């Protein structure tokens, strides 16, 4: 099936890449616009070592997608670029792509659009209680992921940490910041705790949680961390992290014994949540898409993510709601399927003529 | 941290957020912190707007910080700018201050006299009665508001701006002002009460704690510094009632402790050249609060010692705890006796910021700062500051002897006589 | 919580929420000839947890009946099924496992005598979703505590 106009995909992360792969494999031309200078989205940008729940290397999942897109003759990739404007209707949108490096603008006609602009990790500096950005050795899970990948987890003084705390729900489930659950940070933190324990077998690891939300098969990680790796779980929420000049004093309550604790740690890892990124906000404005109360893109029907508020524009991945890489990939495929359906429908009357 | 690979986008708005991320962070942090506290910034600003509306409608009189008070502007936690009057101040004294640590208020008066600041030390002031309220839950909003307005009216009559010494009075006044402005019922009831004593509703535009005054005057104070205090390490305890009651309205500054903790007192110590040490339980109460001082002395003193004094001494090696409220100085100082008798070793002198500043400016440690009322040993601190306290002690003994023998009268720090004519009652 | 210890600090108004072990009431205490004996010299130690200590827990893990303690995730199914807990609110297998695991000394001292109330009926071990064998863990905790004469 050939169409005159290619399909536009905004965002080169797991969802966008998968949609590009699926469409090109069906012989449909694709324009892929990526804001950054590389493809792969968050897993590549933040150097995810492995992916939950099976802890397979990120490259196993991401590399085939990236390679396919870069080799395919049907996919034209615009890096360092954003979509500034889209006008028209399903079947014929006129879009303007702007390159952020040389400010060159290109106008193109596309038949359909898939928005897959992903998420940003919550910037923990906004919640001052953790002292993130001020206290040394308070890091985010995205930063730990890169350290794990390098195989070297050390404090700012170059020494390995002995006692490490993970704090769940940072920038999530909190009225002062973001009220939603990011769905994956429990699982990702637990996965990282296991990997940490493999690198530093003598370390003691404490997970400070309100709930452990390891959905579906991710539960396996939870059991494994406790039963095979001796990782400790403390139910509570942290009120303050204070840097003593040497160690981090974590204040919280062990709600299972109704006891306030103030315990010293060498390193604290914040399980930062997900929030809609600048890219999502910019695209919502450029394409005039509806956003919900939380700033995520709002699908036409709350239970069906792939249809946007506009005909011919489809949604996929974490720009709709927080989700895992595996879900984002599935949503990329789902959105591609919707595009095919649309093109099929639009092509019919022409054949009948 | 996340900007390395992002591209510039044409939309100006988005671009600004990216390049000024640091500024955005500061703003968000202020907002987030105020959201985490009891009230919200929006509510507070709404109250201030309503106060001006009521003034326009003629329902209340607002006591403005006009130029005659030579105000200095500071930033509060809400981001709002607050005017701090610097001269012609009506000294709203504290009950516990005069009784437990008399050097606290005399040191403040001494500083003002030294700087040539005109002020009024009025005998016609009542207690704010908030100790009753926060201590045992007696009293009620109407009574508290009436006492508040009564004192404010006296100050207004004298045409001097109220400067509140006590953290509890300050916190209480912030709360009852909120109630008064937002609640018609209270306004009507209070007006009826005030009528009986021939007074009216006069609401101060700004409620000002004396620590905020010291904060804005810190450079002038530092100019008159006599002793080098650069060898002194200070641990600051901020008083709960000043910055946790209506937290939106207390002074914060981005260059002092990153704007995360209250600026006054820390700023004074820094301006004088002392080092300021941070410590783990900075947010905790001194032990005075939660009605403990009245009914639970055992818990009060234990909390003061184990949660404040001991960690401060162990972790910071500070030479002195400086605070800005009556209850805090008293509790932190007096609570060290029993633990010391038990054999605990950690001890540290406790002073108000006014006492510390006055000492650095060369005030008499006994006649002015009245350190002999303090229990924890302050001798090391004075040695470090280079103050020859032995000589002052002899001097003080002679002074007392002479008074006893009737050879002289006690020294008084007298406020300069009134320059401004009193305001006529409307 | 015996009658004798209740007397300690009896004058403290909110005495009920302070554990006995936290109160120091000196029989004789003097400072520079000032008598502070009894009530005047009372101190109340803080209850904040300052350390997680897993030494007892490690020993229990080595006990043949305590070897599955690390699997516990504090769901409370054991306590829900326990006939002793039904009668005695101070007997709580779920809680014992947690305070032993984290090494909360103050709590351990408070509850050490209650651990032996376990009737070894084994209902907890039947219902435990993680195979912790709480009944066995109670026995192991008892053995280890006896070893330290706690």
Q: What residue ranges do the domains of chain A occupy?
A: 7-118+277-352, 121-274
Task: Between C149 and A151, name the one with better pLDDT.
Answer: A151
Residues C60 and C36 in one domain: no
Show the tokens assigned to A99.
């390159």
C34 and C65 in a single domain? The answer is no
- Please report whether residue C129 resides in a domain: yes
Q: Which chains, if any, share at least 3 CB pairs under 8 A with chain C? A: A, B
**Set of chain B residues whose Cβ sits within 8 Å of the Cβ of A35:** 6-7
Whether residue B368 contacts residue B112, with contact meaning beta carbons closer than 8 Å, is answered with no
What is the total count of domains within chain C?
Answer: 2
- What is each CA distance from B360 to A4, B110, B268, B363, in whole angstroms? 83, 12, 11, 7
Taking the CA of residue B330 and the nearest CA in chain A, the distance in Å comes to 27
Q: What angle do CA B371, B380, B346 make, to 5 degrees?
A: 95
For C33, nearest residue in chain B (alpha carbons): B341
pLDDT (0 to 100) of residue A197: 96
Do C103 and C135 fall within a single domain? yes
**Residue B338: which of C12, C14, C36 has the nearest Cβ?**
C36
Give A352's contacts (C-beta < 8 A, 6+ positions apart): none
CB distance from C99 to chain A under 8 Å?
yes
10-residue mean pLDDT series, chain B (426 residues): 38 39 47 51 87 95 95 91 95 84 92 93 88 75 94 93 94 93 93 94 96 97 96 96 89 86 95 94 85 76 94 94 93 94 95 97 96 94 96 96 92 68 60
CA A154 to each of CA A30, A136, A273: distance values in angstroms, whole numbers, following the listed order: 43, 11, 23
Terminal C-alpha separation, chain A? 17
CA torsion sign for A54, A57, A58, A61 is negative
Whether C141 and C79 map to the same domain: the answer is yes
CA A198 to chain centre: 25
CA A42 from centroid of its chain's CA atoms: 5
Nearby residues of A92 by Cβ (< 8 Å), 6 or more positions away:
A5, A109, A111
Q: Could you tell me what percent of chain C has a pLDDT over 70?
A: 95
Bridge partners of residue A88, in order along the sequence: A93
Considering only CB atoms, A126 lies closest to which of B9, B11, B29, namely B29
Find the CB nearest C13 among B295, B301, B305: B295
What is the mean pLDDT of the segment spanning A264-279?
Answer: 95
Give the residue on A whose Cα is nearest the Cα of C76: A256
| Closest residue on chain A to C107 (Cα) | A257
Give residues with Cβ within 8 angstroms of C32, minimum separation 6: none
Q: Band of the pLDDT at A352, cuts 50, 70, 90?
A: low
Residues C18 and C66 in one domain: no
What token pair was written down for A40?
């792969």
Closest-CA residue of chain A to B257? A134
**Cα distance between the two ends of chain C:** 16
> Which residue in the set B299, B306, B337 is minimally distant from C31, CB to CB?
B337
Q: Domain span at residue C34? A: 3-44
Domain A7-118+277-352 grouped into CATH 3.50.50.60: yes
- Distance CA(B309)–CA(B296), nearest Å, equals 18
User: What pLDDT, on the 0 to 100 scale, is given for residue B346?
Assistant: 95
Q: Does B295 touch chain C (CB under 8 A)?
A: yes
Measured between alpha carbons, how far is A18 from A26 in angstroms, rounded to an integer? 12
Q: What is the DSSP letter of B180?
A: H
Q: In which residue are the tokens 């104070």 written?
A: B221
For residue B40, what pLDDT is reported? 67
β-bridge partners, A49: none
Task: Verify that C62 and C108 share a domain, yes or no.
Answer: yes
Name the strand (E) or helix (H) holding A315: strand A313-315
**DSSP result, B324-367:** S-HHHHHHHHHTTHHHHHHT------EEEHHHHHHHHTT--TTT
Q: Are residue C108 and residue C77 in the same domain, yes or no?
A: yes
pLDDT for res B292: 62
Question: Which of A25-39, B34-48, C33-47 has the highest mean predicted lDDT (pLDDT)?
Answer: A25-39
Tokens 């109670």: give the residue: C138
Contact B303 C13 (CB under 8 A): no
pTM of this structure: 0.86
A159 by DSSP, 3-state: which? Answer: coil
Contact A149, A43 (CB under 8 A): no
Q: What is the distance in angstroms between the Cα of A285 and the nearest Cα belonging to chain C?
A: 46
**E strand map for chain A:** 7-10, 30-33, 50-51, 56-57, 75-78, 81-89, 92-99, 105-110, 112-115, 119-121, 138-140, 163-170, 204-209, 232-235, 238-243, 248-254, 259-265, 267-272, 274-276, 313-315
Burial of C115 by CB count in 10 Å (0-12 exposed, 13-18 middle, 19+ buried)?
buried
Same domain as C33, residue C64: no
Q: What is the pLDDT of residue A148?
A: 95
Q: Which of B295, B306, B338 sits opposite C45 (nearest CB)?
A: B306
Cβ of residue A126 closer than 8 Å to a chain B Cβ: yes
C119 with C78, same domain?
Answer: yes
Q: Are strands A92-99 and A81-89 parallel, antiparallel or unpaired?
A: antiparallel
Collapsed DSSP state (helix, strand, coil) of residue A259: strand
The confidence band for A349, taking pLDDT boundaries of 50, 70 and 90, is low
Mark whether C78 and C120 lie in a shared domain: yes
Which ipTM value was assigned to this complex?
A: 0.90
Pick the residue from chain C with its C-alpha nearest to A234: C102
Determine whether the interchain pair C46/B303 forms a contact, defined as Cβ–Cβ distance below 8 Å: yes
Which of B3, B9, B13, B308 is the best residue to mutate to test the A interface, defined by the most A CB atoms within 10 Å of its own CB?
A: B9
Taking alpha carbons only, the member of B257, B270, B280, B248 closest to residue B175 is B248
The CA dihedral of B252, B254, B259, B264, to the nearest 10 degrees, is: -40
Percent of chain A with pLDDT over 70: 98
Cβ-based neighbour number of residue B394 at 10 Å: 11
Best residue of C52, C62, C105, C129 to probe chain A, by most A CBs closer than 10 Å: C52
Q: Number of C-alpha atoms within 13 angstroms, CB side, residue C16? A: 1
pLDDT at residue B418, as a whole number:
59
Show Cβ contacts of residue B97 under 8 Å, excluding neighbours closer than 6 positions: B104, B105, B165, B166, B326
Q: Are residues C81 and C9 in the same domain?
A: no
Residues of B with CB under 8 A from a CB of A: 1-2, 5-11, 14, 17-18, 25, 28-29, 32-33, 35-36, 258, 260, 280, 282-283, 315
A121-274 belongs to CATH 3.50.50.60 = yes
* Peptide bond connecting A238 to the previous residue in cis, omega within 30 degrees of 0: no
Q: What is the DSSP letter of B75?
A: E
Q: How many CA atoms lie within 13 A of B7 on its CB side?
A: 25
CA distance A238 to chain C (A): 14
Q: Which of C13, C18, C41 sits opposite B338 (nearest CB)?
A: C41
Specify the higher pLDDT residue, B205 or C105: B205
CA distance B300 to B49: 40
Query: How far is the alpha carbon of A26 from chain C, nearest alpha carbon, in Å?
Result: 48
Cα angle B127-B132-B137, degrees, rounded to a multiple of 5: 150
* pLDDT mean across residues, chain A: 93
d(CA C133, CA C127): 9
Residue B201 near residue B57, CB atoms below 8 Å: no
What domains can you pick out in chain B, each with its CATH number? 44-204 (1.20.1050), 226-403 (3.40.50.11810)
Check whether residue C32 and residue C63 sit in a common domain. Answer: no
Torsion, Cα of A174, A178, A184, A189 (10° steps): -60
- Residues 22-81 on C with a CB inside 8 Å of B are 24, 26, 29-31, 36, 39-46
Q: How far apart are CA B293 and CA B311, in angstroms?
A: 21
Burial environment of residue B348 by CB neighbours within 10 A (0 to 12, 13 to 18, 19 or more): buried
Selection from A73, A65, A66 nearest residue A38 by Cα: A66
* C-alpha B211, offset from chain centre: 4
Closest listed residue to residue A229, CA positions, set A187, A200, A209, A188? A200
Question: Residue B290: what pLDDT?
Answer: 58
Would you say A125 and A257 are in contact if contact means Cβ atoms under 8 Å apart? no
Q: How many residues does chain A have?
A: 353
CB contact under 8 A, B6 and A175: no
Which of these, C146, C150, C149, lies nearest to C63 by C-alpha position? C146
Q: How far apart are CA B376 and CA A325, in angstroms?
A: 61
């Amino acid at each position: 099936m050939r169409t005159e106009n290619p399909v536009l995909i905004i965002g080169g992360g797991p969802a966008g890449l998968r949609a590009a792969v699926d469409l090109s494999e069906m012989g449909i031309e694709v324009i892929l616009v990526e804001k950054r200078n590389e493809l792969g989205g968050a897993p590549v940008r933040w150097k995810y070592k492995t992916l939950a729940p099976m802890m397979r290397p990120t490259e196993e999942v991401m590399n085939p997608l990236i390679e396919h897109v870069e080799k395919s003759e049907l996919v034209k990739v615009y890096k360092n670029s954003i979509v500034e404007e889209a006008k028209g209707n399903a079947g014929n949108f006129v879009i303007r792509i702007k390159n952020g490096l040389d400010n060159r603008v290109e106008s193109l006609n596309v038949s359909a659009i898939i928005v897959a602009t992903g998420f940003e990790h919550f910037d923990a500096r906004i919640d001052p209680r953790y002292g993130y950005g001020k206290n040394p050795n308070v890091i985010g899970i995205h930063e730990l992921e890169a350290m794990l990948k390098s195989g070297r987890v050390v404090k700012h003084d170059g020494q390995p940490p002995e006692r490490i705390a993970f704090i769940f729900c940072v920038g999530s489930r909190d009225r002062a910041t973001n009220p939603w659950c990011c769905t994956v940070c429990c699982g990702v933190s637990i996965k990282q705790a296991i990997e940490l324990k493999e690198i530093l077998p003598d370390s003691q690891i404490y997970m400070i949680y309100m709930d452990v939300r390891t959905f579906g098969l991710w539960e396996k990680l939870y059991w494994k961390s406790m039963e095979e790796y001796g990782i400790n779980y403390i139910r509570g929420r942290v009120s303050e992290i204070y840097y003593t000049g040497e160690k981090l004093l974590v204040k919280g309550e062990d709600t299972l014994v109704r006891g306030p604790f103030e315990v010293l740690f060498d390193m604290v890892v914040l399980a930062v949540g997900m929030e809609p990124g600048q890219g999502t906000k910019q695209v919502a404005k450029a394409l005039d898409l509806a956003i919900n109360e939380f700033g995520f893109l709002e699908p036409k029907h709350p239970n069906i993510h792939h249809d946007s508020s506009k005909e011919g524009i489809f949604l996929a991945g974490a720009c709709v709601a927080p989700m895992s890489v595996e879900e984002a990939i599935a949503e990329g495929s789902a959105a591609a399927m919707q595009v095919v359906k649309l093109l099929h429908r639009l092509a019919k009357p022409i054949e009948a003529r | 941290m996340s900007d390395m690979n992002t591209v510039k986008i044409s939309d100006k708005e988005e671009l600004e957020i990216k390049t000024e991320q640091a500024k955005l962070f500061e703003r968000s942090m202020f907002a987030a912190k105020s959201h985490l506290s009891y009230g919200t910034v929006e509510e507070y600003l709404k109250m201030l707007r309503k106060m001006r509306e009521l003034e326009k409608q003629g329902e209340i009189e607002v006591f403005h910080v006009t130029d005659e008070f030579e105000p200095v502007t500071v930033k509060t936690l809400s981001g709002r700018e607050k005017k701090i009057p610097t001269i012609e101040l009506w000294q709203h004294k504290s009950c516990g201050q005069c009784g437990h640590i008399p050097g606290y208020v005399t040191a403040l008066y001494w500083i003002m006299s030294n700087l040539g600041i005109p002020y009024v030390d009025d005998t016609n002031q009542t207690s704010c009665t908030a100790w009753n309220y926060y201590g045992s839950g007696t009293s009620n909003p109407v009574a508290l508001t009436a006492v508040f307005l009564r004192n404010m009216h006296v100050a207004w009559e004298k045409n001097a701006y109220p400067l509140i010494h006590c953290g509890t009075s300050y916190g209480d006044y912030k709360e009852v002002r909120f109630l008064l402005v937002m609640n018609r019922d209270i306004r009507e009831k209070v007006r009826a009460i005030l009528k009986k004593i021939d007074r009216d509703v006069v609401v101060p535009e700004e409620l000002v704690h004396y620590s905020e005054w010291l904060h804005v005057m810190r450079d002038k104070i530092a100019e008159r510094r006599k002793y080098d205090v650069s060898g002194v390490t200070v641990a600051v305890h901020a008083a709960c009632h000043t910055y946790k009651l209506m937290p939106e309205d207390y002074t914060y500054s981005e260059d002092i402790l990153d704007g995360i903790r209250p600026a006054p007192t820390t700023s004074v110590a820094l301006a004088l050249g002392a080092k300021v040490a941070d410590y783990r339980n900075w947010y905790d109460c001194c032990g005075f609060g939660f009605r403990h001082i009245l009914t639970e002395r055992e818990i009060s003193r234990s909390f003061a010692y184990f949660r404040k004094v001991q960690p401060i001494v162990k972790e910071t090696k500070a030479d002195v705890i400086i605070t800005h409220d009556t209850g805090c100085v008293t509790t932190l100082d007096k609570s060290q006796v029993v633990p010391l008798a038990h054999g605990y070793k950690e001890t540290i002198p406790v002073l108000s910021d006014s006492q510390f500043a006055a000492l650095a400016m060369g005030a008499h440690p006994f006649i002015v700062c009245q350190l002999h009322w303090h229990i924890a040993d302050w001798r090391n601190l004075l040695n470090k500051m280079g103050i020859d306290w032995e000589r002052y002690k002899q001097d003080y003994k002679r002074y007392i002897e002479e008074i006893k023998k009737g050879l002289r009268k006690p020294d008084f720090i007298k406020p300069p006589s009134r320059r401004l004519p009193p305001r006529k009652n409307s | 919580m015996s009658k004798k210890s209740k007397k300690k600090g009896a004058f403290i108004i909110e005495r009920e929420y302070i554990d006995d072990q936290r109160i120091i009431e000196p029989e004789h205490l003097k400072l520079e000839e000032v008598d502070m004996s009894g009530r005047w010299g009372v101190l109340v130690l803080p209850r904040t947890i300052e350390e997680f200590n897993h030494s007892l827990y490690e020993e229990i893990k080595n006990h043949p009946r305590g070897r599955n303690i690390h699997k516990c995730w504090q769901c409370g199914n054991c306590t829900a099924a326990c006939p002793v807990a039904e009668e005695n609110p101070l007997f709580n297998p779920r809680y014992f496992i947690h305070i032993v695991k984290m090494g909360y000394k103050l709590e351990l001292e408070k509850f050490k005598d209650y651990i032996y109330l376990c009737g070894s009926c084994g209902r907890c071990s039947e219902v435990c979703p993680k195979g912790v064998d709480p009944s066995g863990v109670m026995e192991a905790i008892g053995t280890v505590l006896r070893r330290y004469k706690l």
